[in-house]
Structure 1
Amino acid sequence: MKRVILIALIFITTIATAQMKSSKLNWHTNLEEAQTLSQVDNKPILIYFTGSDWCAPCKKLKEDFFESPKFKHKAEDLVLVVIDYPRRVDLLSQEQLDYNKTVIAKYNKQQTFPKLVMLNSEGREMGRISGYSPSRDTSKHFTFIDEHIQVE
């Protein structure tokens, strides 16, 4: 009986892990590659500017918004790009950090974090939203997304 329970637990864990992996978001770190995908798939690009290791609102937004099932559903209609600006130098390669700085200089000149910027496939900005409420209300962020995509 113990063996059957153990096998059942392993089976359930395996299925749950597979489902969790399949629900992971596909974040890109290169805007030019994202633009190519955007053109092929006819989807807008969502750039997420974050300070992953120091920005408390960024961490909360990631948890409350980006990791929510509702966002994961909407993300199917977007090409996602994350541009991180960490303080710890070991989190990104120097090449990636330099690249991120060029994207920040173009689309986030004020260096406000977190920031979401929506682009069309040609790189033209369609909208932006900065910050995250201490009350952890994601409604403005979902409204921002809904303004630029059509989700059933």
Structure 2
Amino acid sequence: MKKTILCIFFLCAVNSISAQELTWHTDINKAIGISSQTNKPMLLFFTGSDWCGWCIKLQKEVFKKPEFAEWAENVVLVELDYPRKTKLEPALAQQNAQLQQIFKVSGYPTIWFVTPQKNGEQINLQQLGKTGYVGGGPSKWIEVANQFIAKK
């Protein structure tokens, strides 16, 4: 019995550690710089972290799983949050509102896959595709995401 409890505890700890290793950027300009340097597409996660049930479900069922953490090495993760209970810094709230308008996000969660394209002094975000919550766990969600990043 003790061994079973210990095994369960260990597996939960491994899941937790894997999820904590992910780096979610909130500054779009910093993320664009990293994406340009590494030649990786960006995953823009539009979320209502403290109120959106589907966003929380997506986090729990996909983003906090080891399979996703391993796959996420292929992209630059960007979280664009629209919380109701937590107040964002004004610059961050303004950035997120602008991106919400640019990408015409009307529901959460919305995930856009994009690549930065330099056009003189201006940087455009080329849209590869979008998705949201996909049932079936991390493998099904990753299968859908791979279709978009293959367009890069």
TM over 0.5: yes
**Paired residue for 1:128?**
130
Question: C-alpha distance in 1, partners of 2:145/2:45?
Answer: 12
Check 1:101–1:27 CA distance in 2 against 1; reply closer, same or farther (3 A cut).
Answer: same
Q: CA RMSD in A?
A: 2.4
Shift of 1:124: 0.4
Match among 45, 50, 64 for residue 42 of structure 2: 45
User: Structure 1 residue 146 and structure 2 residue 141: aligned?
Assistant: no
Calculate percent identity across the aligned residue pairs.
Answer: 32
User: Structure 1 residue 77 and structure 2 residue 74: aligned?
Assistant: yes
Gaps of 5+ in 1: 1-12
Partners of 1:43 and 1:121 within 8 A in 2: no
Partners of 2:25 and 2:77 within 8 A in 1: yes
Partners of 1:46 and 1:119 within 8 A in 2: yes
Gaps of 5+ in 2: 1-9, 118-124
Runs of 4+ aligned structure 1 residues displaced above 4 Å come to none
**Paired residue for 1:8?**
none
Matches within 5 A, 1:2-151: 20=17, 23-90=20-87, 92-107=88-103, 109-122=104-117, 123-130=125-132, 132=133, 136-138=135-137, 139-149=139-149
Question: C-alpha distance in 1, partners of 2:81/2:42?
Answer: 16
Q: TM-score, normalised by structure 2?
A: 0.75
Q: Deviations over 1:101-123 (max 9, x none)?
A: 0111111x242100110001321
Q: For this pair of structures, how many residues does the alignment match?
A: 130
Question: C-alpha distance in 1, partners of 2:51/2:30?
Answer: 27
Q: TM-score, normalised by structure 1?
A: 0.75
